[in-house]
Amino acid sequence: MAKFKAVLYSAAVVMFIQTVLFAGTIGVEVTPNTWDAGTHGAGTFSTTGGHFTVANPGTDNAKMKIRATNTTPTNWVLSTVPGKDTFALQWQESGSTWNPILDTENTMFNSLTGGTQKSFDLSFLSPTSLTDPSLTAPQTTVVTLSANPAILGIWEVQTIDSTGDVGRQNALVIDLNNNPQMSYYDNTNSTLKYAKWTGSDWDIQTVDSVGGYSSIGIDSNNNPHISYYGGNGDLKYAKWTGSSWDIQTVDSVGDVGYYTSITLDTNSNPHISYYDATNLDLKYAKWTGSSWNIQTVDSIGDVGWHTSIALDTNNNPHISYYDNTNFGLKYAKWTGSGWDITTIQKKYAGMYSCINIDTNNNPHITYYAWLNPSKYIRYAKWTGSDWDIQTIGDGIMPNSSLDSNNKICIAYKDYPSNNLKFVKWTGSSWAAEIVDSINIGGNQKDISVMFDNNNMPRIIYFDLLNSNLKFAIWK
């Protein structure tokens, strides 16, 4: 096969489509924007600068895809192998393998960082014979590169575990290698399970013979740490040592360990928030390096349901939780000497709370609010002087994550459709889409979302229809 030089039996238009979540702060610029094969001759384009350049002048990372559309003559089509009435178009980042371009979208750059650019080359491959009289008369080819409006891309959904009734009360974390790790409840066997992506498959383990209300964190060695309810009234904790699970009972005074939430500090020490069902209190446990330091955070009324914990840059804990006496959302912050406790919303709000701390140490909390028959997803953000509260949509069981630019995303069960819905703050507005249209989740903590190291969202959730644990990744 020979590369086309001055002529090609087709005209092709190559469009660059930036595929990124809810664009708005993402741009794309392609230069130079035309290529006349009759002028430049050789199959690989070259100018004084050397290559085509695609730039992302925005602030968010862009996922770039390339698409080729054959315009005239219509009897010519793109193919991976050129032949009669077909031609092949390829692209490569300088020095790498040539990649085919088809009518469908082809991923070019998985993550083009905001404010950066990359270069690439184009190449045509001709049919084996240019003298076949049945072929369309040759014509000069002009390839036009243009910046099209952003498209949302797709969610790739897969089943992680389908052995029995599995996937409720789940928790997700992304490790340092950008791989997901998770804990969840096996309702068939009443056990705690754990799964991680190895790079090629899911490694699934049973951690303990009990294990509701689990939460998971990762230490500096990528080892998982899981907090959970022990079934016999204990708060339990499991740590992977590298070869086995080290399991401890953290608190066994009364019926404790409901609604656990765990996070690790910069020294890889775990911090756990949880509910004491005997005394109706919010409690907190911290590993000091040699023992567990356990405190009662709030004991006014029946408090501590639906806890969520996060640490600021000073390793101080922040906890969001539900006040079951006053049906409100509360927030506790460790000041260094004591707990500063605030009621954020007084009535009919606070279940399924999830807290994130931004790079300025300000808390962001998502939660469920209701006023029968309505069910709302709400978002409270501390501005530095007050709580900014917004209603996001109709739904239940929200879970949230902040990206590296302090923009929040929320995954939740849409009401009344029961679909899995995802929303993200673009910087100026909320954008939303349906991830999975099956009946998802029950009425527990059955959805977990987290941005990966490239600011791409990943979600695990319980498929209520099939009783499976599922995983959705943005592509």
Model confidence pLDDT, tens digit, residues 401-443: 999 999 999 999 999 999 999 999 988 888 888 899 888 877 7
Arithmetic mean of pLDDT, 45-70: 55
Over the range 384-404, which residues count as b (16 or more CB within 10 Å of their CB) and which as e? eeeeebeebbebbbbbbbbbe
Q: Is 75's pLDDT higher than 50?
A: no
Q: Which is more confidently placed, 156 or 221?
A: 221
Please give the Cα distance from 308 to 84 (Å, whole number). 63
Which pLDDT belongs to residue 102?
65
pLDDT at 157 over 50: yes
Mean pLDDT of 173-194: 97
What pLDDT was estimated at residue 50? 41
> What pTM was computed for the model?
0.74
Q: pLDDT class for 78, splitting at 50, 70, 90?
A: low
Nearby residues of 48 by Cβ (< 8 Å), 6 or more positions away: none
Closest to 392 in 3D by CA, of 426, 362, 417, 425: 425
What's the average model confidence in pLDDT over 153-160? Answer: 85
The pLDDT of residue 248 is above 60: yes
| Tens of pLDDT, residues 324-352 | 999 999 999 999 999 999 999 999 999 99
Q: Which residues are within 8 A (CB) of 389 and not within 5 positions of it... i.e. 6 or more apart?
A: 344, 345, 378, 379, 380, 381
CATH number of 155-474: 2.120.10.10
Give the burial class of 143: count Cβ atoms within 10 A of its Cβ; 0-12 exposed, 13-18 middle, 19 or more buried. buried
pLDDT recorded at residue 19: 33
Q: Are 262 and 235 in contact (CB under 8 A)?
A: no
Among 31-45, 145-159, 311-325, 372-386, the range scoring the smallest mean pLDDT is 31-45
Q: Is the pLDDT of residue 1 over 80?
A: no
pLDDT for 441 equals 79
Would you state the pLDDT for residue 474? 85
What's the chain's average pLDDT?
81
The reported pLDDT for the residue numbered 234 is 98
The residue ranges of every structural domain in the chain are 11-130+139-147, 155-474
pLDDT-derived band at 372, boundaries 50, 70, 90: confident
Q: How many helices (H) and strands (E) would you count in the chain?
A: 1, 38
The pLDDT of residue 433 is 85
DSSP label of 139: B
Least reliable range by pLDDT among 62-76, 96-110, 217-231: 62-76
Angstrom distances, CA of residue 59 to CA of 20, 56, 62, 408:
12, 8, 9, 15
Give the pLDDT confidence score for residue 67 in this predicted structure: 57
